[in-house]
Chain A
């Protein structure tokens, strides 16, 4: 009897009795947006922590469980999650969040993408023919996504629609307030080198040249010959910064840094679990500081 009561209690506690939409975000950046726009009117779960590479996850049972009860999926999109999200959605047997339904939202579909007409040929590595999906590091694009998300959440929960719109507008305002500061901070930077091709939108926004990538081709681990070429290219000029994600190997980055005198920085692609807008801006601050260097 006691076991039964415990079991029932666990069930009731674990299934949140929230009236508002249950949002499942694929990454912490998307969860941050859902939380920022949705406020207390939504509950948000995240499928992938920021220390994992979202290209290569598996459709795990716990994800399927989260998606089964979701009212809205917020994905980065543009085929970033193509390896696991479609499979998880299929198995979740939740018709409301199928692509094409109001319950399915892709951030990349709300903004202009670059790289859309690159060759769709895997001899060029793990390319994204639909365009570069890594929109989350560009605060301005994220503000546009926030507004579209507010619209979508408003369709799911009409009573809160105005509040969602207001919070999305606040987010845009906060981005605009900070943007000039970030641009000034990185002005004059000789450029950056990234590990993977995932920083284009931020670099363009802050007007910082990308001088190269550690990966010879997207998704292909660094090779010795490619690193040599990179070193030759970077040598001599003013030193910039080499960025890598926490899950990227550190050895190739250290080698290039030692040979060129460039600085290194380890920065995640997404903010920490449970991040709010402040934590997201803090992450962009860290990027700006790393690119701008000591002043």
Chain B
């Protein structure tokens, strides 16, 4: 009975993932400004969420290992960390593809990209630590302690750091209520580095002409590949009017507020992608995708934990 249920669940998962792939290409509509690239969120975001869940599960098993010293708990912690790493790499790769299509570059050290890279390095160090200690009980103990500390950094790197940044190209506001994305305030006292993605920005002038307020902002792209003076404007209602494009990129600069007498201006990046989930079809496919990727991760975890546990049993038996 249990075996039959397991087979049914696996076949259902296979069909569900096929359905997600079908829906991603043929049901989800194109998003204005993103073209076909918007479809990637159906995979990108669920894999990122599975990553955080897997790392959290891994830390729980590490705590259990420290309490019980059971090889099964250690195997479970490693399996969950491996699944987290796999999905994290997948989320990073799909994010880089999205960035290439929408922002014009695979990697631009956006706060979100930087924090996910740091997370990958932290968990790469976890596996390096495991392979660098030969004594098995010591290896397990050290790895468990490290894993708990690694997990403490995970929520900060995945959820907090990208949101406390003044500006990010990543469309946070598309998915999470309360994301600020308030931009950065510039004054006439010189250039600011890395305030908008990895772009150097320098406020040159703030002017009021009739009902319109404009700011002249010099932007220097990474490696000083391009330099340009962008002049975003605000209309009389305080809404962004002219939204000039960054040189060689497909995102734009918007002026949020400006104070001409004080010589300050608050600017932000406007990248396509915000509001993707306001479409009902996209939202439902997205929710189904989260569920399906969650079950896929669970299955992968069970397989890997079984293999690792068997391997540890064989090693223990041989040691006897």
Task: Please indicate whether A and B come from the same complex rather than being unrelated chains.
Answer: no
